[in-house]
Structure 1
């Protein structure tokens, strides 16, 4: 269709653009065919060239996933990606947390990384909303003894049950997965 609308001298450019667009679509479709079932998401910051190589080289999801993890484990690449967050005023004041989460990640302290990033992003999202929309959308609450995830000696059951009691009353849709529960606990 674009070829019909383009001036005569630009038709070769339009054909080239169509091929490039088709290649991009095939690359992204290939990414999702291989890694979609493993819940990986293609995003605008993921190199299209790397993704094309990944799709061409890997038909085995486990191999493709291992290559993608190696790609993300590059400290320089992660540093470049996180530096872009400085453009957002609400993220600037959280960059020390991003740096700490990055250090924890590369030190193998993944539990700390997840906790810090989930709570930081919940606060970031809520900063832009007049109505709280994070995992704990109601009024702000202070911690009560026995409900803090990191301090309870009763295990996960106590903070999860506490979270669900309030959540069910508000939304009739309790936090059900571990990640949602961790995010809920971080937002207290």
Structure 2
């Protein structure tokens, strides 16, 4: 499932191909310019966009090498690259290690995980549904980390890591279980040189009591009281780093994207030309577009059935979604979600049922409707629902995007497009 090198995974390879194709196009641009002018393309803007493409090629090729180089140097020490690791930090650590100061490079990586960085990365973990019940404990571990109580922080972070993987792993195996597989298609951290390497290192058997200061968070030695010298920042930082590195795998596991996905079909020249014409049309629509000035309660109702709202508007789509929620019609709720930014279509009804079956919507009210772009609107709402016998009042901002039939953003009002909800989960 994995490519031999991280630089060969589809998302990175695609970026490389795209920028190389741009460089090629720059070379043939003089021959295409008359033809593009006939199509109405803004040739000057295209020239401006291509001016620095050669530098861009060099930068992206350099960046594509960083993940493999980082793991080659640091994986054996308990660090791996992942999507939200600061690339400049990784690049500088590689340079320092390759100059002969790998201990200094490791010190820099530890320093990177200060309390503020951990706090921010914990916010990104909230995108994983299975991490929601673990947030409160993670916040307590962060307090201990900030106060340098590493003896208390490390076991908690390791348990959070183990439990998160256990919940999402198909065979119910935790991070430290034997034969656990944490690879995923098109993933930097879940590449075969990433998480699985950490698993083998962290789960190493520890059968003798040690008091020497550790540099690796050996789970078995720490949790079973054999490794007593884990109370330090380097062990704690590596535990946090492993948790954050698992984020991409967990997101893919929740969306059913661990396995190889179908390749996107190659576009024909006719399709490319049609796209150019469409882009020109969209440009004209964008120039004409203006945000609406809407006052809820006067220009549009604050609540009610979808029929009360104008067609092809984001507020009508949201009204549909909320009314479907009231009658627990999760299948129709799923049809209101963005095809690319929501859960996979086949899984969406079950995911919605799992999230909303305990929440019985009683009432909703639109507070404000703001058009932020030609294909993006934000609707602020007040929701009243019953959850586990208690009435909950929640303010929530729904983001809606106008999409075409393929799920691509489209200017509002374009025939064949429809408004879809991006952020469907309330927590």
Q: TM-score range by the shorter chain?
A: 0.5 to 0.7
1:104 aligns with 2:125: no
C-alpha distance in 2, partners of 1:26/1:88? Answer: 28
Q: Would the alpha carbon gap of residues 5 and 64 (structure 1) be closer, same or farther in structure 2, given more than 3 Å must change? A: same
TM-score normalized by structure 2? 0.30
Structure 2: 5+ residue runs without aligned partners? 1-19, 30-46, 179-202, 207-217, 225-427
- How is 1:1-188 mapped onto 2 (pairs within 5 angstroms)? 2=21, 3-4=23-24, 8=29, 9=47, 12-32=51-71, 34-57=73-96, 59=99, 60-72=101-113, 74-129=114-169, 131-134=171-174, 135=176, 176-178=204-206, 179-181=218-220
Task: State the Cα distance separating 1:22 from its structure 2 match.
Answer: 2.0
C-alpha distance in 2, partners of 1:125/1:30? Answer: 26
1:128-170 CA-to-partner distances (Å, cap 9, x unmatched) read 2453212468xxxxxxxxxxxxxxxxxxxxxxxxxxxxxxxxx
C-alpha distance in 2, partners of 1:81/1:49? Answer: 17
Please identify, of 57-66 and 126-135, the stretch whose mean Cα deviation from structure 2 is larger. 126-135
Question: 1:136, 1:184 within 8 Å by CA — same for their partners in 2?
Answer: no
Higher relative helix content: 1
C-alpha distance in 1, partners of 2:63/2:220? Answer: 37
Question: 1:122, 1:183 within 8 Å by CA — same for their partners in 2?
Answer: no
Task: State the Cα distance separating 1:68 from its structure 2 match.
Answer: 1.3
The total of aligned residue pairs comes to 147
TM-score normalized by structure 1? 0.62
Q: Would the alpha carbon gap of residues 183 and 84 (structure 1) be closer, same or farther in structure 2, given more than 3 Å must change? A: farther
Q: RMSD value over aligned CA atoms?
A: 3.1
Q: Would the alpha carbon gap of residues 121 and 27 (structure 1) be closer, same or farther in structure 2, given more than 3 Å must change? A: closer
Task: State the Cα distance separating 1:31 from its structure 2 match.
Answer: 3.5
Q: Which structure has the larger Rg?
A: 2
Question: 2:66, 2:91 within 8 Å by CA — same for their partners in 1?
Answer: yes
Task: State the Cα distance separating 1:36 from its structure 2 match.
Answer: 4.4
Question: 1:101, 1:113 within 8 Å by CA — same for their partners in 2?
Answer: yes
Please identify, of 31-40 and 17-26, the stretch whose mean Cα deviation from structure 2 is larger. 31-40
Structure 1: 5+ residue runs without aligned partners? 138-174
Task: State the Cα distance separating 1:98 from its structure 2 match.
Answer: 0.6
Please identify, of 81-90 and 38-47, the stretch whose mean Cα deviation from structure 2 is larger. 38-47
